[in-house]
Chain A
Amino acid sequence: MLDLPPLTVAAPLAAAALLAVLGSHLPRHVVYLVATATALGTTGIEFAQLIGSWPDGIVHWFGNWSVQHHFPVGIAFTVDPINASLACVVGVLMVAALVYSWLAIPQVSHLYHVLMLVFLAGMSGFALSGDLFNLFVFFELMSVTGYGLCAFRQTSSSVLQGSLNFAIVNTVGAFFILLGIALIYGRTGALNLAEIARSLSGHRPDGLVVVAFVFIMVGFLTKAGAVPFHFWLSDAYAVAAAPVGALYAGIMSDLGYHAIATVYSDAFAPTFAGTATAAFRDVLITVGVLTVVVGAVMCFLEADIKRQLAFLVISHGGIFLCGIGLLTGQALAGSTLYVAADAMMKGALFLAAGYVVVVLGASDELLLRGRGRGRSHLPIAAVFTVAALGLAALPGFGTWLSASLIESSASSVGFGWLPPVLAAGTALTAATILRTAGRVFLGWGPAHDPLLTSSQADEPTEGEPSEEERHRLTLWALVPTTALLVIGFGLSFAPELANYAISAGRTFLDTGSYVDEILRGAHPVAPARLPGYAPDAGAWAYGAATTGGAIVLGLVGLYWQSLPARIHRRLIAMIEGPIVFVKALHSGRVGDMVTWLAAGAVALCAAGALAFR
């Protein structure tokens, strides 16, 4: 069991190195076989690790360097059920992405597989690490492979714009993290999260600790796509190839939020104890709500399917952040389950969007109006609709169960106003997908909509698929997509899942026992009994609101121009100003993005400084 954590990283890396040496000489199918088999194997290891991490967690010290003279000398992977399940999500999505690629782009260079396998290793390590600098190294590994994969198949300048913005903004974020790490090292002399916690506890945080933590948070928020660090995300995710986008959207962004939860609860929670905890809660929820709202609104105002999905990722990421920000075990459990279930839906949608681009020839909703009609497109239409309903937290889906966990936790800590906001964001984003599905597959709604940002060029931003690809892409490509949907749906039926998750969430937030386990080798006290959670009436109301709201808003999105002229004109007059303003902010210019990043950093520092004065 102790051997598993390094294998989640070592196996894909070894396979990647092997493919780099031999790949150009091997036939494509062998390369795909090796890559997919490695991804499957790694996923298996990750599931075994998940089971083994209950209830005590697994700690692996690299190089056999653990604690010497009361100080952690080596690097540790600290696996608990929460981050082990995120690692499993990474594995599952990678398998689906590779299978989809095998079917959709069978003749791609072996470099693609090498990069994907290293990406897998990077994300797995990022989820599991218990050392601050090691977290940064895996963050960079994940990012660098991400930049390379984003620019794959560049045939248009929008791909280059997306990749450059991605690389530059994320790199600036990484510098903030580095500076934060340097400052913390200067204060505590340690890089192990548990040791940092021990060193900082008992002291009131001063300027250095606050700024260092904010800087580390800024870097992770940039990767995750929180507002105002999110401007690069819509450009990059819109141009990435479908399988790569599925990975970005499904899990890469959410790992950024998880890293904040890890660094906070494993290293900074003791020093932030007291009134500062409430302030931290407020800050995270403010950022989260802002992200949900901006993401949802921008999502609804886009006509390009992949940009819609990008803003959907941003908005749902905000929901995840709110769940973390509530700082309760139950909300964290809900967030993690939400990430897992939502990842399946988002991943499936990205793959489906890729399929639509190849089969229907464009990615713009308005251009595609009606092109999806006909029985041959029934499967893809079904995928879109089911995924949209899953995103809308239709009761029965894993997303509903996790949303209900967050919702009930929010009410219990005095944030009763939060669930309606989250419900509105969920409804609006799902409505966008339903609207798209209606317009493309049923031909509903007009072909012009002045409020939607549309490229109006008959060329998908991803790159023109070749004729050969159009022929090759059969319905088989929908198999991995459907598999993801089934998993996302079925998660809510896993027995006692919510209860295990809540228990794991509470243990995650218990810094004291974490420090004891890492530094003193103490065995954590096993939880006495699993909590007995069952979704209550409020959860059903939430699910009904989000789903019903999604359907209603989707119809509004399709038919708003058919409203009587007076209402129509007044509506436009009311919302045009703010819409134009928000859209203008998303200028696509990297200089603006970095300015907003810095502005966000200053705002968070100011909030932190106020919390401790």
Chain B
Amino acid sequence: MSRRQRLTLFSVVALGLSGFVLWAMTDLRSFGDYAGTYGVLLNKVGVSERHASNVVGAIVFDFRGFDTLGEEFILFSSVMGVAFILRSSLKIKDQRPLDAVSNDATRTVGGLMVPIVLIMGLWLAAYGYVTPGGGFQGGVAIASAAVLVWTATSYRAFARLTPAPTLDAIEGAGAAAYVVVGLVGLGLDGAFLANFLPLGTAGTLASAGSIGLLNWASAFEVAAANILLYREFFQEYVQTFPGVREER
């Protein structure tokens, strides 16, 4: 089809599709009138059953923890896939950094922000089942601390701080830890991902049983996976600089 034919066909199709989507959506309960059983039930039992005051966290790591396992491995495989696709063993650690930031203000403020963001990420991850946050959110924040290193300094500094083999190991370990905790639950309680640790007091760090373990496993995995992703893309970016020597 020529471009014009395609767009004409699409305009007709889009009209139909919008009609059907709106037809379906107007059959929903209006905004704010949620009356489903699942959410109400979990809000009721989440805290009492699992002593986790963040019910969303309890759902992500306990009630529907198996979904999260799948999601973790989706992230895991995509990083493997991107590494597969973009594989380029660029060794520029010892070259003069061509993308170094020279502005003092950027370097200072950026440099100061890195530990702040890192600690914030760790805090988000640690208290994930008590207050809003969790392994995923915390992991992404930790990864953004690494991006800040690159923004404030240069690729060389970033590469030195985030060696790929270490990140691979942390990512794999995080993913494996999640599966292992699940298997322990299978062995001890007859169900995969069953909660097997003492539940503690809701509202404190010592609560929610094995949700804490899963929380940290995913924090490490997500942080490492994100940093690996950024690393691959930064490498591609740095390669566009003239004079960068590629050593394979």
Q: In the complex, are the beta carbons of A118 and B76 less than 8 A apart?
A: yes
Q: Which of B41, B81, B168, B180 contacts A151 (CB 8 A)?
A: B81
Q: In the complex, are the beta carbons of B70 and A125 less than 8 A apart?
A: yes
**Does any Cβ of B come within 8 Å of A107's Cβ?**
no
Beyond A73-B42, A125-B70, A595-B6, whether A186 also contacts B28 by CB under 8 A is: yes
Q: Which of A62, A185, A210 contacts B191 (CB 8 A)?
A: A62
Q: In the complex, are the beta carbons of B37 and A602 less than 8 A apart?
A: no
Q: In the complex, are the beta carbons of A20 and B168 less than 8 A apart?
A: yes
Q: In the complex, are the beta carbons of B180 and A14 less than 8 A apart?
A: yes
Beyond A63-B195, A189-B38, whether A13 also contacts B69 by CB under 8 A is: yes
Q: In the complex, are the beta carbons of A211 and B172 less than 8 A apart?
A: no
**Does any Cβ of A come within 8 Å of B98's Cβ?**
no
Q: In the complex, are the beta carbons of B190 and A140 less than 8 A apart?
A: no
Q: In the complex, are the beta carbons of A585 and B1 less than 8 A apart?
A: yes
The interface size of chain A toward B, counting residues with CB under 8 Å, comes to 79
| Residues in A neighbouring B41, C-beta threshold 8 A | 68-69, 71, 73
Measured as residues with beta carbon below 8 angstroms from the partner, the interface class of chain B is 35 or more
**Which residues, 1 to 31 on B, are CB-close (under 8 Å) to A?**
1, 3, 6, 9-10, 13-14, 16-17, 20-21, 23-29
Beyond A64-B190, A64-B194, whether A18 also contacts B67 by CB under 8 A is: no
One of A2-10, A391-399, A452-460, A465-473 contacting the partner: A2-10
**Does any Cβ of B come within 8 Å of A237's Cβ?**
no
Within the assembled complex, what's the spacing in Å between the Cα atoms of A141 and B72? 9
**Does any Cβ of B come within 8 Å of A157's Cβ?**
no
**Does any Cβ of A come within 8 Å of B113's Cβ?**
no
Q: Which of A18, A64, A133, A605 contacts B172 (CB 8 A)?
A: A18
**Which residues, 1 to 50 on A, are CB-close (under 8 Å) to B?**
2-3, 6-7, 10, 13-14, 16-22, 24
**Which residues, 339 to 359 on A, are CB-close (under 8 Å) to B?**
none
| Residues in B neighbouring A210, C-beta threshold 8 A | 24
Q: How many Å from the CB of A423 to the closest CB on chain B? A: 33
**Does any Cβ of B come within 8 Å of A208's Cβ?**
yes
Q: How many Å from the CB of A147 to the closest CB on chain B? A: 6
**Does any Cβ of A come within 8 Å of B36's Cβ?**
yes
Q: In the complex, are the beta carbons of B70 and A141 less than 8 A apart?
A: yes
Q: In the complex, are the beta carbons of A207 and B67 less than 8 A apart?
A: no
Q: In the complex, are the beta carbons of B36 and A190 less than 8 A apart?
A: yes
One of A91-99, A108-116, A442-450, A531-539 contacting the partner: A108-116
Q: Tell me if B's interface is mostly helix, strand, loop or mixed.
A: helix
Q: In the complex, are the beta carbons of B13 and A211 less than 8 A apart?
A: no
One of B103-111, B117-125, B142-150, B181-189 contacting the partner: B181-189
Q: In the complex, are the beta carbons of B64 and A74 less than 8 A apart?
A: yes
Interface mask (A547-589 → B, CB under 8 Å = 1, otherwise 0): 0000000000000000000000000000000000000110101
Beyond A71-B41, A183-B28, whether A598 also contacts B14 by CB under 8 A is: yes
| Residues in A neighbouring B193, C-beta threshold 8 A | 6, 62-63
What residue in chain B is nearest A150 (Cβ atoms)?
Answer: B81
**Does any Cβ of B come within 8 Å of A61's Cβ?**
yes
Could you list some 23 contacts between A and B, CB below 8 A? A2-B190, A6-B192, A19-B172, A21-B172, A60-B192, A73-B38, A73-B41, A111-B83, A112-B84, A115-B77, A122-B70, A137-B74, A138-B70, A144-B78, A148-B82, A148-B85, A152-B84, A185-B36, A208-B27, A212-B24, A599-B9, A602-B13, A605-B16
Q: Which 3 residue pairs spanning A and B have beta carbons closest together?
A: A189-B36, A148-B81, A21-B172
